[in-house]
Chain A
Amino acid sequence: MRLPAAIVILLLGGVIGLQAVHERLGGVPAVDTPDMLYVRSPEAMRRLALSYQSLLADVYWIRAVQHYGGTRLSNDPNASYDLLYPLLDLTTSLDPRFNVAYLFGSLFLAGPPPGGPGRPDRAIALLEKGLRAQPEKWEFAQAIGFVHYWWRQDYPEAAAWFQRAADMPGGPFWLKSMAAVTLAEGGRRDSSRQLWQELSRSELEWIRNEGQRRLLQLDAMDQIDQLQAAADAFERQLGRPVADWDDLRRAGYLRGSPQDPTGAPYRIESGRVTLDTASRLYPLPVQPPHAQ
């Protein structure tokens, strides 16, 4: 009995040792394995899933989140969000009531590069699919209005969707005023702020965090405007653009080193104030010329 036990322990030690050698040698030779999606047809996947449609929808949702996060954090310049929409489409086809996949998914899809694929059209398509599955969901209509407002700067369309969401059963009353404000003052920073404030009160943590981040972006845009005004005044006064923050400090326009609301330093080059690309708030949203 002792001999077999000793042999088992010996062999186990051998396995562990060889595994360590294997690891030291670098493991399996690397191959270029891009992210793959073997089945792209939602209809085919629905059939293949048998009675596991919901569970498979969860798996595709986790893949979508991982794909989005992985691409967003990737240093690879060729990294792309190509699989994001197919993954979300599969998720919502397998489980048409997966509400978070529509709401988060539209935020993922609409964000401009490098923070997202910059496809507001697909974000809207996903939300419209959600509305077809659940026509009573005013949240999807609100989110469509939001994509039109924020990413397409199409304020009449945004106002129409906010109004539609307000008219749906359970739609909150503040969406009516949002529709009116959007129509009258679309693109103005304070109306954008009102919109994100509503989202930052969402019960869904990720949307709440996204709302808070967007509010910080609006704060950063206000601060950049003030710093830019100081830089422009400097240029008018001295006839040359600001070279660095020391210029503004010496001229008495500034005290200390300006930082964005997340603590990242602002940058100034050739008299233009910008956000640091390493900031959590980068890139700032594009703003229509008339908006302030």
Chain B
Amino acid sequence: MRKGFFITFEGGEGAGKSIQVQILASRLREDNFKVIVTREPGGTRIGEQIRTITHSQENVDLDAKTEAYLMAAARAQHVSEVIAPALDAGRIVISDRFVDSSIAYQGYGRKLGAKFIAKLNEVAVNGAVPDITFLLDVPLEMGMKRRHASEKTNDRLDMQQQDFYDRVYKGYETLAKTNGGRYFIIDAKKSIEKVATEVWKIVGKKIKKHFTNE
């Protein structure tokens, strides 16, 4: 059994994951917990370099499956270099996205199949299953607006993109249903403060239980 505690944030674009990660981490640090904040894709130098491959202009025709293998490579490195050592050392790890993002985006969104992606990532995850996963639920339109608020662009999604994001959304819904034990859906239409309060209510209770039972 790992001594640490693993929290992940999932959800679509503009759901406010990164700000919630920050708020939760500083709240935990106030209580003297040792916290590691990380994110996907990326999280390690190898992961960042793989990300430049998958995002490079030269690779616009990158096959969905090739991309899935590359993401799994980045994740394997992320787990072995960052997440597993921190959990073994009894830390709290908070990750902005984790394997469920691959399942939602590549499994459902790019139609590779949830099962295929989950199976492919099993070895990469290496038992690092989150204790809590927050799904920050925000309607697609609102998330996109938030995302592009600063850019003032008027880019509307075309039908194909709309379909893609709909599939991702439904994928997350399914993940939340089938992993009920660790999943908490938070209504992310609410203000940042309100979302943070809800997150803390759940984390505070679980953390206390986890660290006093040992």
**Are both chains from one complex?**
no
**Interface positions of A (Cβ within 8 A of B):** none
**Interface positions of B (Cβ within 8 A of A):** none
